[in-house]
Amino acid sequence: MTESLTGRLAQIVGAGYVSTDPDVLDGRAVDHTGRYRGRASALVRPGSADEVAAVLRACRDAGAYVTVQGGRTSLVAGTVPEHDDVLLSTERLTGIGDVDVVERRIAVGAGVTLAAVQRAASAASLLFGVDLAARDSATVGGMASTNAGGLRTVRYGNMGEQILGLDIALPDGSVVHRHSRVRRDNTGYDLTSLFVGAEGTLGVITGLDLRLHPAPAHRVTAVCGFAELDALVDTGRVFRDMDSIAALELVDARASALTAEHLGVAAPVDGAWQLLIELAGDSDQTERLADALGDARLAGEPAVGVDANSQQRLWQVRESVAEILGVFGPPLKFDVSLPLSMIDTFARDSAELVAAHAPDAIPVLFGHIGEGNLHLNLLRCSPDAEPALYAAMMDLIARCDGNVSSEHGVGSRKRDYVGMSRTDADIAAMRTVKKAFDPTGYLNPAVLFRR
Ligand SMILES: Cc1cc2nc3c(=O)[nH]c(=O)nc-3n(C[C@H](O)[C@H](O)[C@H](O)COP(=O)(O)OP(=O)(O)OC[C@H]3O[C@@H](n4cnc5c(N)ncnc54)[C@H](O)[C@@H]3O)c2cc1C
């Protein structure tokens, strides 16, 4: 990092928003889990789209690498700098516009947290279609960049489906404003989609127009226990196809045992596998829930919540899972979508793999079963076991027809496995797009591709 670049960045954003303090940089150079660490030369916090663009131009001209950081909740080490990078944080891009209740949309800065968008939507009696446990830290810019999914994807789709427009600062220092006030607009390339899921490799999202949804008048929640995973998957398949499905979440009993032991949050039902089901609609869904559970092979009576308080209690175990994953140190994480027919096989074979490679590790399985999207977390998994186990697990995922990344993205952790889910021609086309936007490859250089 040259002094002239530091000076130039300070001119652009103000000296108070540039830091080269080693402690600050150290804290920002590690991933959310604490498992992966890099090295940075400076932190810069621009306050507008034009400042972001000017920062990018200055870094490119100085030959510096830039890693973009939103809420830093990436679970694939997407914000870990590997080249002594300048860290570009979006934390000052926090403007929130008024909710347009007629068009059901809101314009926000990229650094606005998911929770802030949810609060704004709720104040206007609307809701935002994506929800995830990192809602207090994850930013909508980061979520757009990873095309995040989560707890409501089964009903409303991923982040991409919520995006009506974007402001993007490009690697050449220009800014694209892609917005439309009308609902249908097929003018030219769908540039918005190109930046969704690009994980910051093509540009920095600085602002978003987000779609909001009507809030359903009725909601019913149930937690059901199952002795066998395939029985849970069969039931999940039935609910996934219902138009009133609002959430469908799997939690294994090892996870709920840990939430009970460490947080005092016990599962409301017995069974090795638990399924949280939520239905929502304009009419009461309780009877539909009961009918659909009629043929389910349950381990006992389900726990059902029809009012907000009891529903919140039923969500407690699922909401607490994230907190217990770190109790034995940084967990090793896998995020995968599988055909529903392969989930049982994957659960069994992955447990065997873990026992063979890391006998002390505790496998915990949970996820968004509606999409076959599982999060396998290995607690107490030693770093020594990681390389061989990671490769073997990705091989198993491939054999089960799973994908490299379901919702967390590729980041730097999975870049060596992209070929598992994409053909050579597909990867070459992605590299062509990257080169067109960022010929020198200075933006998010550790993400998606190996340099
Ligand atoms: C407890 C917990 C639960 C989670 N649950 C889910 C879940 O259910 N579903 C899910 O999909 N994910 C989940 N995640 C992962 C994570 O929250 C998402 O990936 C989220 O989208 C990241 O947002 P962020 O602001 O933290 O982005 P960051 O982690 O800061 O960045 C993520 C990636 O996007 C890039 N980036 C960030 N901001 C921008 C921007 N403005 N423009 C361009 N690039 C940018 C970064 O360089 C990085 O590559 C969870 C994480 C945690 C810790």
pLDDT tens for 321-366 read 999 998 999 999 999 999 999 999 999 999 999 999 999 999 999 9
Per-residue model confidence as pLDDT tens digits over 399-425: 999 998 889 999 999 999 999 999 999
Dist. CA 79 → ligand 1 center (Å) = 9
Mutation test of ligand 1: which of 28, 31, 36, 68 has the most ligand atoms closer than 8 Å to its C-beta? 68
Rounded-to-integer distance, Cα 75 and Cα 70, Å = 13
Q: What is the pLDDT of residue 252?
A: 96
* 437: pLDDT strictly greater than 80: yes
Q: What is the pLDDT of residue 451?
A: 82
Mutation test of ligand 1: which of 51, 67, 74 has the most ligand atoms closer than 8 Å to its C-beta? 74
Q: What is the pLDDT of residue 368?
A: 96
- Report which protein residue has its CA nearest ligand 1's atom 44: 200
Q: What is the pLDDT of residue 1?
A: 67
Place 183 in a pLDDT band, splitting at 50, 70 and 90.
confident
298-302: average pLDDT: 96
105-119: average pLDDT: 98
* 171: pLDDT strictly greater than 70: yes
Would the CB of 142 count as within 6 Å of ligand 1?
yes
Would the CB of 73 count as within 6 Å of ligand 1?
yes
Dist. CA 114 → ligand 1 center (Å) = 11
Q: Tell me the average pLDDT of the chain.
A: 96
Dist. CA 143 → ligand 1 center (Å) = 5
Q: What is the pLDDT of residue 435?
A: 98
Q: What is the pLDDT of residue 132?
A: 97
